[in-house]
Every structure is written in C-alpha cells, then in structure tokens.
Amino acid sequence: MMQWIQGNETVLWWLAASSAFTFVASLVAVPWLVVRIPHDYFAPGSAHRMPWADRHPIVRLIFVIGKNVLGLLFVAAGLLLLVLPGQGILTIVIGIMLLDFPGKQAILRRIVMQPPVLDSINWLRRRSGRGPLIVER
C-alpha cells in the first residue's frame, strides 16, 4: 500500500488540493448564489426571463452555452462534494438551475421541497436578510 501511495504521490496531492479548493469555493459561492434566487423561483406558474433574452441570437447562444457549461461544472462539483467536505446538495441544485433541459422545474421542485434542503436554503436566506422561498408543499 505504501508503495502505491509513494508511486502516486503527485496524483494524491492534486486530489487533496482540488478537494480543499472545492470545499472553500462551495463555502463562498453556494451561499452567495442561494440568496440571489428569486423568492418565487419555485412557485408554480412563475416564469423567470433570462437577462440576455432580448440580445442578438449569437450573443444569446454564447450565454446559453456558457450557462450550461457552468451548470455542468456545478453539478459535477456537487457530486464530488457529496463524498468530500462541502455543500453537495445545494451545489447540485444550483447546477441544475443553470442547466436547460425538459422537466428541470419538476426535478428542482422535488429536490427543494425536501425539508432539510429547504430549511438549509431558507436559513441561508434568512441570515442574508432575504425572504424564504415560496414552495408549494
């Protein structure tokens, strides 16, 4: 076992460094993003318009692709944070919010309606002086 560790020391250092980075990044980014969710984002029938919806089609396409890539990165980081120290579920929720796919709102609503998840989100929002999320239970 020690021989394997010594043979893969560089890989283990990179894993440790990336684990520490994702932990710190999740402690900063996730609460910052959670408090910026509109309070009625998960309410039935609420549709939120993207700020770049009225832009030139090429600019809009670039923003949509960038948003989806960022969403995939957040989902991947959230999956890692399920086994590493950090806020895995909240990171996955933010990643899914950034992605565009059919049925996204139903999946998000199902995740956010879980009492531990909703309580965590509303606790973060309360600490920042924001109102709780409106979610139909």
Measured CA to CA in angstroms, residue 14 lies from 10, 11, 17, 18, 20 at distances of 6, 5, 5, 6, 10
Q: What is the mean pLDDT of the chain?
A: 83
Q: How many domains does the chain have?
A: 1
CB < 8 Å & 24+ apart, contacts of 64-73: 64/100, 67/98, 67/99, 67/100, 68/98, 68/99, 68/100, 70/95, 70/98, 71/95, 71/96, 71/97, 71/98, 71/99, 72/99
Question: Does the residue 1 lie in any domain?
Answer: no
Q: What value, to the nearest 5°, has the Cα angle with vertex 77 and ends 7 and 109? A: 155
Q: What number is the average pLDDT over the span 98-119? A: 87
Domain that includes residue 48, residue range: 6-127
136 within some domain: no
Residue 134 included in any domain: no
Determine contact, residues 42/122, Cβ cutoff 8 Å.
no
Domain annotation covers residue 40: yes
Residue 137 lies in a domain: no
pLDDT digits (tens, 9 = 90+) for 14-63: 877 877 887 787 788 878 888 888 888 877 776 666 676 777 889 889 99
| Overall average pLDDT of the 81-101 stretch | 83
pLDDT of residue 72: 94
Does some domain include residue 135?
no
* Structural domain includes residue 133: no
**In sequence order, which residues have a C-beta less than 8 Å from that of residue 73 and are 6 or more positions away?**
95
